Structure 1
Amino acid sequence: MDVAVIGAGQAGLAVAYHLRDLGARLAIVDAGPRPGGAWQHRWPSLTLGRTHSVADLPGMRAAGLSFADADTRTPARDTVPDLMGRYEEAYGLRVTRPVRIERVTREGQGFLLEAGPGSPLPRLEARAIVSATGTWTAPRVPHLPGRELFQGRQLTTPEYPGADALAGMRVAVVGGGLSALGFMDELAPRVADLRWYTRRPPVIHEDASPELGFARGREAVEAQDAAALAGEPLPSIVSVTGIPMTPPVRRLRARGLLDAHPMPVRMSATGLVESDGSEWSADAVIWATGFDHALGHLEPLGLRHDDGGVQVDEGRVVGHPGVILAGYAGQASTISASRGARTSARHLRVFLAGEGDWPA
């Protein structure tokens, strides 16, 4: 093929939409069993009414589809995949599923993609690749001494089962982002006790106006893009934007749950040990501590610097002609992923035509 798109979530589909007009031979593969990217795996209580707005994919309105018109009460893991599947059909974006690409290597002037066992497409060759595998499969958990000793439940964000499964328990939520606060808002009425731990004191903005939210979001995107261009590890979004005073945050403040505790220094069999030596007993710990980009399949290409960063310029991996990271760094939001997709497709068109220079 000319281009292989790995991942058919929002970033992958957005790039594929713009690539379809190139006249190039295009293959799209996805590890999920059905459309929807990571949305199909979200917890059952998450609805579009409880999330930030989801930006439409390019050309979505022209196909008579929009996330803005979706039912805000139905589980997002049903609503979003349905719309994304209809989008694929509307634009003839044929996605082969389930194909989990485990290894990508250089092969002559292009790339060899090798899939896991049982894949309907075990091998694929392409002149260029678009990796749009997101972060959902790479949750980040801090290295805390004694984690292996803890006898309660430990759950990352993708493993969160909903408040019903944790009812009556003592639950610690670790992480300073909006996912952590969303979990706490759901858990507060159901659990026996709840405690919030963060790496740094949270910055909560009383003013949650759309204008300020947009400005802070733009600042976060610029910070992520600057880190990517320098090949540095990416800063967290919330470290730049802070936390807006949304209705769930107001409810948590009214319950007295916004007083975050510093990160515990270690764990024991029965709980979390704090810096003063005291122990907070817990039945479950939720690690809402962010994600890394899922790039394990690209390790043979040697993209990462020693500190773990990848140098990316407008989606192009610097020094690696033909490798695009879609939805990476500042393109991770639904709005910027669609905007970045057009730029990435333009770069690929130039690359496939043998014109211009890839950043070195």
Structure 2
Amino acid sequence: MTRTCQVVVTGGGQAGLAAGYHLRRQGLDFVILDAEAAPGGSWQHMWDSLHLFSPAQYSSLPGRLMPAQPGETYPGAGHVVDYLADYEKRYDLPVQHGTHVQAVRRDGDRLMVEADSGTWRARAVISATGTWSRPFLPAVPGRSVFAGRQLHTVNYRCPADFAGQRVIVVGGGNSGAQIAADLAIDGRAKVTWVTQRPPRFLPNDIDGRALFDVATARRRALDAGRDDTGGVASLGDIVAVSPVRAARDAGLLTAMPMFTRLTTDGVRWADGSGADADTVIWCTGFRPALSHLAPLDLRGPRGRIPTNGTCALGEPRLHLLGYGDWTGPASATLIGVGRTARDAVREVTGLLA
């Protein structure tokens, strides 16, 4: 079955919902196709102890402030899921959950969006599929021979799952630090934290509000042709949220350098030393989930699609939203995606006019 509309949004997480809000305000005919069975995007799959970097009022999508979570300055992931579900309902956004988009193709003056529930013909597509469904695992020697468990950030839930185990946590970003801290504070697993370079903690008073301002200032400088300020990366890699600070200050969060290989029963460093392990948790990031756009043949360096703002350079009917700073300052965050979604929808509206 083939249906038509003006705009198809692929992905119904925070970026897709922000786009939907602005599309609704413009009075456009649109649909949001979301692979998740329920509202909440990737937030419904986060680990139990995860909290936002910013207070609720600074973690909101356009048009609707996130209510505070009782007893919490920084809301937990479950609170975010409830907020996104309420947001979707409040603005009566036409989200079709459990719908997997397989391909986007050109079809004359339209783009064909092929999903497992049928095909849509649209005049524009906003891709907002994020990165959570595409975890990255580095090509480390010995990864195939390690006899223990290997997990990614997406598989981690709580320390109780690792009681009595020797766990290697790999990754010097926020996920690696938070999961290592979660396990170390719990104390039921023996934890070794491994990073590619010495971890860089941001000052204790830096949270998501400041990070958004820094990312925005960098984008404005670049757009104006001024020198690159370095953005968030110039400040550090790890936000010192409360559990991370507690583990660090207690001496439980000391990083080892990256090992050179895995063995059947653990890891080995370049100097010949090693550590036995039952589980390795790879907190090594994600890649943009863009396989549905492959038929458009737009990929550039590093697997990204070159854009001007959010608009794909090789296909002006396609906008990419929420994949990181290359599709808008802080656009992969709750606080940052609203402004970029507004700009993308403004361009789409101009295209349709």
TM range (shorter): 0.7 to 0.9
- Secondary structure in structure 2 of the residue aligned to 1:204: coil
Question: Is 1:348 equivalent to 2:345 in the alignment?
Answer: no
Residue number in structure 2 paired with 1:324: 319
| Structure 1 residues 236 and 154: CA distance shift in structure 2, 3 A | farther
Say if 2:128 is the partner of 1:124: no
Answer yes or no: is 1:272 the counterpart of 2:267: yes
1:43 lines up with 2:39 in the alignment: no
**Code of the aligned partner of 2:159:** A
What is the CA-CA distance between 1:84 and the residue it aligns to?
A: 1.8
> Where in structure 2 are there 5+ consecutive unaligned residues?
224-229, 326-330
The question of whether the paired residues in 1 share the 8 Å contact of 2:54 and 2:74 is answered with no
Root-mean-square deviation (CA, aligned residues, Å) is: 2.9
What amino acid maps onto 2:295 in structure 1? P
1:1-360 superposed matches below 5 A: 1-46=5-50, 48=51, 51-53=53-55, 55-61=59-65, 66-69=66-69, 72=72, 76=76, 78-116=78-116, 121-188=117-184, 189-205=186-202, 207-210=203-206, 214-220=209-215, 241-330=236-325, 331-353=331-353
Aligned to 2:319, the other structure's residue is in SS state: strand
Shift of 1:67: 4.0
**1:225-245 deviation digits (Å, cap 9, x = unpaired):** 9999xxxxxx99657533344
Q: Which amino acid aligns with 2:84?
A: M
Pair 174,67 (structure 1): closer, same or farther in 2 beyond 3 Å? farther
Per-residue deviation, residues 199-237 of structure 1 (Å, max 9, x unmatched): 1211224x3224x87555544466689999xxxxxx996
Separation in 2, partners of 1:179, 1:16: 29
Amino acid at match of 1:41: H
Given that residues 64 and 87 in structure 2 are in contact (C-alpha distance below 8 angstroms), is that contact kept between their aligned partners in structure 1? yes
- Count of residue correspondences: 337
Q: Are the equivalent residues in 2 in contact too, given 1:225–1:329 (CA < 8 A)? A: no
User: Shift of residue 292 of structure 1?
Assistant: 1.1
Give the partner amino acid of 1:315: T
**Distance change in 2, residues 1:75/1:350 (3 Å):** closer
* TM-score, structure 2 as length reference: 0.86
CA-to-partner distance for each residue in 1:304-335, whole Å, 9 max, x for gaps? 11442322222111121111111122211211
> CA shift at 1:192, angstroms?
3.7
- Is the Cα contact below 8 Å between 2:110 and 2:124 reproduced in 1? yes
* 1:153 positional shift: 1.1
Q: Kindly, what percent of the aligned residue pairs are identical?
A: 40
- Change in Cα spacing, 1:157 to 1:340, as seen in structure 2 (3 Å) is same
- 1:19-72 deviations in Å (ceiling 9; x for gaps): 1132322111111111111111222343x4x654451111114xxxx2434674
Q: 2:146 touches 2:263 (CA, 8 Å); kept in 1?
A: yes
Helix, strand or coil: the match of 2:21?
A: helix
Contact preservation (8 Å) 2:211, 2:232 = no
- CA drift of 1:253 comes to 2.2
Q: Which moved more, 1:28-37 or 1:194-203?
A: 194-203
Q: CA–CA distance in 1 between the matches of 2:240 and 2:78?
A: 28
Point out the more displaced range, 147-156 or 325-334.
325-334
Higher mean C-alpha displacement, 262-271 vs 51-60: 51-60
Are the structure 2 counterparts of residues 72 and 246 from structure 1 closer, same or farther at C-alpha, using a change threshold of 3 Å? closer
Residue 341 of structure 2 aligns to a residue whose secondary structure is helix
- Contact kept? 2:166, 2:276, Cα under 8 Å: yes
Alpha carbons 1:221, 1:329 under 8 Å: kept = no
- Matched to 2:180, the amino acid is M
Q: Deviations over 1:326-350 (max 9, x none)?
A: 1122211211101111101100011
Residues 240-270 of structure 1 deviation map (CA, whole Å, 9 limit, x = unaligned): 5333444323322234233322211111111
Q: Provide the secondary structure at the position in 1 that maps to 2:88.
A: helix
Structure-2 separation of matches of 1:280 and 1:134: 35
Letter in 2 for 1:198: T
Separation (CA, whole Å) in 1 of partners of 2:322 and 2:120: 22
Secondary structure (helix, strand or coil) at the match of 2:316 reads coil
Residue aligning to 1:357? none
